[in-house]
Structure 1
Amino acid sequence: MSATEKNISRRNFIRLSGMTGAALTIGFYFPATGKEEAEVMKLETAEAKGIDLNAWISIDTNGKVTITNHRSEMGQGSFQSVPQIIAEELEVDLNNVNIIFAQGNNAKYGSQITGGSSTIRGSYKKLLHLSASAREMLIQAAAKKWNVSPIECYAENGFVIHKSSGKKFNYGELVTEASKLEPPKSVKLKDIEEYKIIRKPMPRQDTPLKTNGTAIFGLDKKLPGMMYAVVERNPRFQGKVKSFDETEAKKVPGVKHVFPVKMSVFNTFREGVAVVADNLWSAMQGRKVLKVEWDDSGFEHLSTEQLYTRMSDALKSNDSLSVRTRGNAEGVFQKSASKVEAIYETPYEAHACMEPLNCVAHYQDDKLEIWGPIQGPDWVQDFLSPLMGLPKEKIIVNMTFLGGGFGRKAFMDYPHEAAIISKEIKAPVKVVWTREDDTAQGPFRPGMMYQCRGSVTANGGIESFIMKSAGQNMDHQWPNADKKSYNNSATEGFLETYFESLPHYSFSDAPLDVPIPVMWWRSVYASTNTFALESFMDELAVKAGKDPLEFRKQHFQEGRYHELVNKLEEVSGWKSRKKNEGYGVAIAESFSSIVGEVVKVSKKPDGKLKVDKVWAVMDCGWYVNPDIIKAQIEGSIIMGLGAAVTHAIHFADGKTVEQNFNVYKMPRMMDTPEIEIHIMDNEEKAGGVGEPSLPPIAPALTNAIFDLTAKRIRKLPFNLEEV
Structure 2
Amino acid sequence: MKASDLSRRHFLSASLLAGGGLLFDFSIPAADAAETGGQVVTAFVRILPDNRVLIGAKNAEIGQGAKTMLPMLIAEELDVDWAQVTIEQTHADQKIFGGQSAGGSRTTPREWLPTRTAGAAARAMLVAAAGQSWAVNPATLVTRGGKVIDPASGRSVTYASLAAAAAKQPAPDPATLMLKDPKEFRIIGQSIGGVDTPAIVAGKPLFGIDFKLPGMVYAVLETCPAFGGTLRSANLDAVRKLPGVAHVLTIKGDGTPESLFDGVAILSKSWWSANQAREALKIDWDMSAVSGFSTQAYASQAAERLKGKADGDIVRSGDVEAAFATAARTVSAQYDYPFLAHATLEPQNCTALFKDGAIEIWAPTQNPESGRGLVAKALNLAPEKIRINFTRIGGGFGRRLMNDYMVQAAAIAAQVPGVPVKLVYSRQQDFQRDFYRPAGWHGFRAALDKSGKLSAFHDHFVTFGKDGKPVRSAEMPAHELPAGLIDTVLLEQSFLTTNMPTGWLRAPGSNALAFVTQAFLDEVAEAAGKDLPTLMLELLADPRALPRGPNAPPFLTSRAKGVIEKVLAMSSWADRGRLPKGRGKGFAFYHSHMGYFAEVLEVALVDGIPKVATVWVAGDVGSQIINPMNALHQAQGSVIEGLGQALAGQRITQIAGAVEQANFDTHPLQRIPDTPQILVEFVKTDHPPTGMGEPALPPVIPALVNALYAATGKRIRTLPIVPEMFA
Aligned residue among 349, 358, 366 for 1:358: 349
Q: Is the CA contact (8 Å cut-off) linking 1:104 and 1:381 kept in structure 2?
A: no
Return the offset for 1:53: 12
Aligned residue among 286, 289, 301 for 1:295: 286
Distance 1:372 1:485, change over 3 A: closer
**Inter-partner Cα distance in structure 2 for 1:33 and 1:554:** 52
Q: Secondary structure at the match of 1:501?
A: coil
Return the offset for 1:132: 1.0
Counterpart for residue 43 of structure 1: 26
Aligned residue among 697, 700, 706 for 1:697: 700
Q: Is the CA contact (8 Å cut-off) linking 1:257 and 1:276 kept in structure 2?
A: yes
Q: Is the CA contact (8 Å cut-off) linking 2:259 and 2:403 kept in structure 1?
A: no
Counterpart for residue 535 of structure 1: 519
Counterpart for residue 316 of structure 1: 307
Q: Is the CA contact (8 Å cut-off) linking 2:333 and 2:443 kept in structure 1?
A: yes
- Which shifted more, 212-221 or 531-540? 212-221
Give runs of aligned pairs for residues 474-513 of structure 1, distance below 5 A. 476=466, 483-484=468-469, 490-491=475-476, 498-513=482-497
Return the offset for 1:267: 7.9
Asked whether 1:546 is paired with 2:546, we answer no
Aligned residue among 338, 343, 346 for 2:329: 338
Counterpart for residue 233 of structure 1: 223
- Which shifted more, 631-640 or 681-690? 681-690
Identity of aligned residues (%): 32
Letter in 2 for 1:596: A
Counterpart for residue 712 of structure 1: 715
**Inter-partner Cα distance in structure 1 for 2:458 and 2:615:** 29
Return the offset for 1:386: 1.9
Q: Secondary structure at the match of 2:110?
A: coil
Counterpart for residue 589 of structure 1: 591
Counterpart for residue 422 of structure 2: 430
Distance 1:450 1:441, change over 3 A: same
Give runs of aligned pairs for residues 364-383 of structure 1, distance below 5 A. 364-383=355-374
Q: Secondary structure at the match of 1:537?
A: helix
Counterpart for residue 570 of structure 2: 571
Q: Is the CA contact (8 Å cut-off) linking 1:263 and 1:417 kept in structure 2?
A: no
Q: Is the CA contact (8 Å cut-off) linking 1:495 and 1:589 kept in structure 2?
A: no
What CA deviation, in whole Å up to 9, does each residue of 1:154-205 have, x standing for no partner? 1111111222333211111111221121122121112222221112212222
Return the offset for 1:619: 0.9
Q: Secondary structure at the match of 1:424?
A: coil
Distance 1:39 1:593, change over 3 A: closer
Letter in 2 for 1:525: G
Asked whether 1:112 is paired with 2:100, we answer yes
Distance 1:204 1:104, change over 3 A: closer
Asked whether 1:183 is paired with 2:174, we answer no
Distance 1:57 1:720, change over 3 A: farther
Asked whether 1:664 is paired with 2:656, we answer no
Letter in 1 for 2:618: V
Asked whether 1:398 is paired with 2:381, we answer no
Return the offset for 1:653: 2.3
Q: Is the CA contact (8 Å cut-off) linking 2:70 and 2:111 kept in structure 1?
A: no
Asked whether 1:384 is paired with 2:375, we answer yes
Return the offset for 1:354: 0.6
- Which shifted more, 243-252 or 334-343? 243-252
**Inter-partner Cα distance in structure 2 for 1:489 and 1:151:** 54
Give runs of aligned pairs for residues 613-652 of structure 1, distance below 5 A. 613-621=614-622, 622-646=624-648, 647-652=650-655
Q: Unpaired segments of 5 or more residues in structure 2?
A: 1-9, 31-39, 544-556
Give runs of aligned pairs for residues 170-319 of structure 1, distance below 5 A. 170-185=158-173, 186-264=176-254, 265-266=256-257, 269-319=260-310
What CA deviation, in whole Å up to 9, does each residue of 1:250-293 have, x standing for no partner? 34322111122245534885222111112212111211222222
Return the offset for 1:79: 0.8
Aligned residue among 511, 515, 537 for 2:499: 515
Counterpart for residue 5 of structure 2: none
**Inter-partner Cα distance in structure 1 for 2:15 and 2:61:** 28
Counterpart for residue 406 of structure 2: 415
**Inter-partner Cα distance in structure 2 for 1:483 and 1:603:** 43
- Which shifted more, 54-63 or 210-219? 54-63
Give runs of aligned pairs for residues 124-135 of structure 1, distance below 5 A. 124-135=112-123
What CA deviation, in whole Å up to 9, does each residue of 1:307-336 have, x standing for no partner? 122222222221323222332234312331
Return the offset for 1:638: 1.1
Q: Secondary structure at the match of 2:191?
A: coil
Counterpart for residue 552 of structure 2: none
Letter in 2 for 1:645: L
Distance 1:197 1:721, change over 3 A: farther
Aligned alpha-carbon RMSD (Å): 2.6
Letter in 1 for 2:375: L
Letter in 1 for 2:586: G
Asked whether 1:86 is paired with 2:89, we answer no
Return the offset for 1:370: 1.1
Return the offset for 1:721: 7.1
Q: Is the CA contact (8 Å cut-off) linking 2:331 and 2:527 kept in structure 1?
A: yes
Aligned residue among 461, 466, 475 for 1:469: 461
Return the offset for 1:703: 0.4
Q: Is the CA contact (8 Å cut-off) linking 1:650 and 1:656 kept in structure 2?
A: yes
Distance 1:139 1:596, change over 3 A: same
Return the offset for 1:40: 4.5
**Inter-partner Cα distance in structure 2 for 1:125 and 1:244:** 56
Q: Secondary structure at the match of 1:531?
A: helix
Return the offset for 1:456: 1.8
Counterpart for residue 89 of structure 2: 101
TM-score, normalised with respect to structure 2: 0.89
Give runs of aligned pairs for residues 153-168 of structure 1, distance below 5 A. 153-168=141-156
Q: Is the CA contact (8 Å cut-off) linking 1:275 and 1:287 kept in structure 2?
A: yes
**Inter-partner Cα distance in structure 1 for 2:357 and 2:99:** 25
TM-score, normalised with respect to structure 1: 0.89
Aligned residue among 59, 65, 88 for 1:77: 65
Q: How many pairs does the alignment contain?
A: 681
Counterpart for residue 550 of structure 2: none
**Inter-partner Cα distance in structure 2 for 1:638 and 1:495:** 24
Distance 1:684 1:421, change over 3 A: same
Q: Secondary structure at the match of 2:437?
A: coil
Aligned residue among 30, 48, 53 for 1:60: 48
Return the offset for 1:630: 1.2
**Inter-partner Cα distance in structure 2 for 1:328 and 1:415:** 50
Distance 1:266 1:608, change over 3 A: closer
Distance 1:337 1:641, change over 3 A: same
What CA deviation, in whole Å up to 9, does each residue of 1:219-243 have, x standing for no partner? 1222222211112221111212222
Q: Is the CA contact (8 Å cut-off) linking 1:243 and 1:294 kept in structure 2?
A: yes
Q: Is the CA contact (8 Å cut-off) linking 2:472 and 2:503 kept in structure 1?
A: no
Aligned residue among 504, 509, 524 for 1:525: 509
Return the offset for 1:686: 2.2
Q: Is the CA contact (8 Å cut-off) linking 1:375 and 1:409 kept in structure 2?
A: yes
Q: Secondary structure at the match of 2:106?
A: coil
**Inter-partner Cα distance in structure 1 for 2:89 and 2:591:** 31
